[in-house]
């Protein structure tokens, strides 16, 4: 069967393996046939609410089995789904909803309660479906709120799909340099090209059980969801609380007999740091892919020495290129904690790369250049923002008689003697933290919007744990400020992972001659402060 649309991965597996477990969250489990029927009902319900081709459906709920029904139901209604962090402040929900202009919203009872208390204007103006049957809001229905019971009254047959493979499948919102999140548009073709390669490359099959730790509003989850659905494997959703207690996460891996995990590097480093990686644990786990940020060799050495029978891959790929763009199988344990772990070579069939200088000319062999990506995995750009799209996605006029689009990642890399690419640095002030892509200027704009703060700078700096970074805020104030007040202000606008962990008050934020923040001076100040503290 030739797959046009990503939901057809699931449809095909549901036809072949109706009784196999499709998704489990450790508490609730659903088979392919059951998930097929419920997602079809949800799609018919969405259509009855006016959802049609290329409309947007916002999904804002906790990680659970029903989340996958929400994704599939949205796709089967011909819409593009927009996953939103249910822990983000309501102000951020409003910003995203205002930008993507959804036709409907799918939530659970707890999120519905939060909306009622914090963003009451949405109720009555936006059709909502509340799926959770075990929390506040269950059973509630009105002209604008549909309950789970009402969804279950719709027909279970698969709706006719009207989408084209070039239509959007989802929009992933990431941090924006202007202080406003930007929505990356990902098409069915983008995902299909990526997943077809990934399933083949990593030999994923029907007997695999894939661990899901990445939030569904994070692009890394694309691998987990669609590799599972294409291969007929089981998706094992680790609840958010398991990420706080690594020992419990390992117990979940063992309980669910997980065979594959694509995890955020910082989570693997944290597990090593707190000493839960012990020989003999997680015997069914055979492949570990890590991505999202740089893995410090110290912690990779620990993982590889503890689990010599497992395969380890370093993966790289920006949201704008859908998933993994380059990868490197780590065959040898790093020699020491100063070793460079390559991000590897481009994925065959779906990714081409160039290294460009500032003038968009090709770099010489061995030189550092900006990594630029092209291929069928490349996003259509940023939703509702042509200017930003044209700035990041340019025409490649260098190597082809017919120009093609390339994405300028902002990552500076070089090629080593083995032909593998190595990450060197960012060319701007965007950082990767806990797997999230963050524009530091978005945090800084939020800080200086406070009356008492005159100037501010935020950097990602190494914490007391080697190789583990944290956000540090440097603040210049008009008056005495209390960190708790500042954090309270920020929580109204920014998600928890964007709130700095350390606060340093300064008489004056150092700036260079052109008025830009001197981040080098702040780094030196921070290093000296830590050195003095340790003496």
- β-pairing, 209-212 vs 29-31, is unpaired
Mean pLDDT, residues 31-41 taken together? 98
pLDDT at res. 89: 85
- β-pairing, 369-374 vs 352-356, is antiparallel
| Residue 213 clears pLDDT 80, i.e. is over it | yes
List of long-range contacts for 33-36, beta carbons under 8 Å, 24+ apart: 35/10, 35/65, 35/68, 35/69, 35/72, 36/10, 36/11, 36/158
Residue 286 lies in a domain: no
Rounded to 5 degrees, what angle do the CA atoms 385, 90, 242 make? 105
pLDDT at res. 445: 83
Task: Using the 3D structure, point to which of 237, 263, 290 is the last residue of a domain.
Answer: 237
Task: Using the 3D structure, point to which of 192, 215, 237 is the last residue of a domain.
Answer: 237
| Residue 192 clears pLDDT 80, i.e. is over it | yes
With a CB cutoff of 8 Å and minimum separation 6, the contacts of 2 are none
Contact indicator for 350, 197 with CB cutoff of 8 Å = yes
Residue 168 lies in a domain: yes
Residue 354 lies in a domain: no
| Residue 325 clears pLDDT 90, i.e. is over it | yes
Tokens of 220: 């890394």
Contact indicator for 304, 279 with CB cutoff of 8 Å = no
Neighbours of 528 (CB within 10 A): 10
Residue 162 lies in a domain: yes
| Residue 65 clears pLDDT 90, i.e. is over it | yes
How many structural domains comprise the chain? 2
Residue 412, judged by CB atoms within 10 A of its CB (0-12, 13-18, 19+), counts as middle
Percent of the chain with pLDDT over 90: 58
CATH of the domain at 112: 3.40.50.12780
- The pLDDT confidence band at residue 115, using thresholds 50, 70 and 90, is confident
| Residue 316 clears pLDDT 90, i.e. is over it | yes
Residue 490 lies in a domain: yes
Residue 462 lies in a domain: yes
Look up tokens 């669609």; give the residue: 226
- The pLDDT confidence band at residue 400, using thresholds 50, 70 and 90, is low
pLDDT at res. 2: 63
pLDDT at res. 403: 55
Tokens of 399: 């190597």
pLDDT at res. 463: 78
Distance CA 330, CA 507 (A): 47
| Residue 140 clears pLDDT 50, i.e. is over it | no
Distance CA 213, CA 270 (A): 14
Q: CA-based Rg of the chain, rounded to a whole angstrom? A: 23
CATH of the domain at 506: 3.30.300.30
In which domain, by residue range, is 198 found?
Answer: 7-237
pLDDT at res. 370: 93
Residue 311 lies in a domain: no
Greater confidence, 438 or 479? 438
Mean pLDDT, residues 244-267 taken together? 95
CA atoms within 13 A on the CB side of 490: 22
What CA–CA distances, in Å, run from 114 to 60, 142, 155, 462? Answer: 11, 17, 30, 35
Distance CA 330, CA 340 (A): 11
Mean pLDDT, residues 110-121 taken together? 82
Distance CA 528, CA 521 (A): 11
Distance CA 167, CA 258 (A): 33
At 416, is the secondary structure helix, strand, or coil? coil
- β-pairing, 287-291 vs 311-316, is parallel
pLDDT at res. 397: 58
Residue 196, judged by CB atoms within 10 A of its CB (0-12, 13-18, 19+), counts as middle
For residue 459, which of 496, 436, 433 has the smallest C-alpha distance?
Answer: 433
The pTM of the full predicted model, rounded to 2 decimals, is 0.86
Greater confidence, 443 or 29? 29
Distance CA 481, CA 463 (A): 24
Look up tokens 């070793």; give the residue: 339
pLDDT at res. 139: 45
Greater confidence, 336 or 258? 258
| Residue 13 clears pLDDT 50, i.e. is over it | yes
Look up tokens 């300028």; give the residue: 408
Rounded to 5 degrees, what angle do the CA atoms 9, 14, 20 make? 120
| Residue 482 clears pLDDT 70, i.e. is over it | no
Tokens of 159: 């709706």
- What tens digit of pLDDT does each residue of 88-103 get? 888 888 899 999 999 9
Mean pLDDT, residues 147-151 taken together? 92
Name the helix (H) or strand (E) containing 58.
Answer: strand 56-60
CA pseudo-torsion sign 511, 512, 518, 521: negative
| Residue 448 clears pLDDT 90, i.e. is over it | no
- β-pairing, 287-291 vs 326-329, is unpaired
Beta strands across the sheet bearing 502-505: 453-462, 469-477, 502-505
For the chain, the average pLDDT equals 89
pLDDT at res. 177: 64
* Per-range mean pLDDT, top range of 108-117, 139-148, 407-416: 407-416
| Residue 385 clears pLDDT 70, i.e. is over it | yes
8-state DSSP, 125: T
| Residue 106 clears pLDDT 80, i.e. is over it | yes
- The pLDDT confidence band at residue 135, using thresholds 50, 70 and 90, is very low
pLDDT at res. 225: 98
Mean pLDDT, residues 386-396 taken together? 87
At 113, is the secondary structure helix, strand, or coil? helix
pLDDT at res. 509: 86
Residue 258 lies in a domain: no
pLDDT at res. 344: 95
Contact indicator for 479, 485 with CB cutoff of 8 Å = no
- What tens digit of pLDDT does each residue of 494-520 get? 888 888 888 888 888 888 766 678 888
Task: Using the 3D structure, point to which of 237, 269, 301 is the last residue of a domain.
Answer: 237
pLDDT at res. 514: 64
- β-pairing, 381-382 vs 182-187, is antiparallel
Contact indicator for 252, 238 with CB cutoff of 8 Å = yes
pLDDT at res. 464: 73
What secondary structure does DSSP assign to 480-517, as a single string? ---HHHHHHHHHTTS-GGGS-SEEEE-SS--B-TTS-B
| Residue 485 clears pLDDT 50, i.e. is over it | yes
Mean pLDDT, residues 198-213 taken together? 97
Greater confidence, 375 or 3? 375
Q: What is the end-to-end Cα distance of the chain in Å, rounded?
A: 67
Look up tokens 């089981």; give the residue: 234
């Amino acid at each position: 069967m030739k797959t046009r649309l990503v939901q057809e991965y699931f449809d095909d597996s549901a036809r072949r393996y109706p009784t196999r477990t499709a998704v489990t969250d450790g508490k609730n489990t659903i088979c392919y046939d059951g998930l097929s029927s419920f997602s079809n009902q949800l799609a018919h319900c969405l259509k009855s609410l006016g959802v049609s081709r290329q409309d947007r459906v916002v999904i804002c709920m906790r990680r659970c089995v029903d989340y996958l029904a929400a994704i599939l139901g949205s796709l089967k209604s011909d819409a593009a789904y927009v996953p939103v962090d249910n822990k983000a402040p309501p102000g951020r929900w409003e910003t995203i909803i205002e930008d993507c202009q959804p036709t409907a919203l799918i939530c659970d009872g707890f999120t519905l309660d939060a909306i009622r208390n914090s963003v009451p204007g949405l109720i009555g103006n936006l059709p909502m479906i509340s799926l959770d049957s075990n929390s506040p809001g269950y059973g509630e229905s009105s002209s604008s709120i549909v309950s789970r019971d009402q969804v279950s009254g719709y027909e279970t047959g698969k709706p006719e799909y009207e989408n084209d493979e070039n239509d959007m499948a989802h929009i992933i919102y990431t941090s924006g340099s202007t202080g406003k999140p930007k929505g990356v548009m990902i098409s069915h073709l983008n995902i299909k090209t990526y997943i077809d390669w990934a399933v083949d490359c990593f030999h994923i099959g029907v007997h695999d059980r894939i661990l899901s730790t990445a939030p569904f509003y994070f692009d890394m989850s694309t691998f987990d969801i669609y590799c599972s659905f294409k291969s007929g494997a089981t998706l094992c959703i680790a609840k958010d609380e398991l990420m706080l207690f690594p020992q419990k996460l390992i117990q979940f891996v063992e309980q669910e007999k997980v065979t594959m995990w694509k995890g955020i590097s910082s989570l693997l480093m944290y597990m090593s740091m707190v000493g839960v990686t012990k020989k003999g644990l997680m015997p069914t786990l055979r492949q570990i892919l890590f991505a999202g940020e740089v893995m410090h060799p110290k912690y990779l050495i620990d993982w590889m020495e503890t689990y010599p029978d497992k395969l380890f891959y370093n993966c790289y790929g920006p949201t704008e290129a859908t998933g993994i763009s380059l990868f490197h199988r780590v065959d040898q344990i790093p020699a020491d904690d100063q070793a460079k772990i390559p991000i590897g070579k481009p994925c065959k069939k779906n990714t081409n790369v160039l290294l460009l200088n500032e003038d968009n000319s090709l770099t010489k062999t061995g030189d550092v250049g900006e990594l630029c990506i092209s291929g069928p995995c490349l996003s259509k750009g940023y939703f509702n923002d042509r200017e930003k799209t044209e700035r990041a996605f340019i025409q490649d006029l260098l190597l082809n008689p017919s120009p093609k689009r390339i994405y300028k990642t902002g990552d500076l890399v070089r090629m080593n003697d083995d032909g593998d690419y190595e990450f060197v640095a960012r060319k701007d002030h965007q950082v990767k933290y806990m797997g999230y892509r963050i524009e530091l200027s978005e945090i800084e704009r939020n800080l200086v919007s406070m009356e008492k703060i005159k100037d501010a700078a935020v950097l990602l700096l190494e914490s007391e744990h080697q190789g583990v970074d944290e956000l540090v805020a440097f603040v210049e104030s008009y008056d005495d400020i209390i960190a708790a007040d500042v954090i309270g202000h920020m929580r109204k606008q920014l998600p928890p992972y964007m709130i700095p962990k350390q606060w340093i008050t300064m008489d004056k934020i150092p700036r260079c001659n052109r008025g830009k923040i001197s981040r080098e001076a702040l780094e030196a100040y921070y290093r000296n402060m830590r050195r003095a503290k340790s003496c």
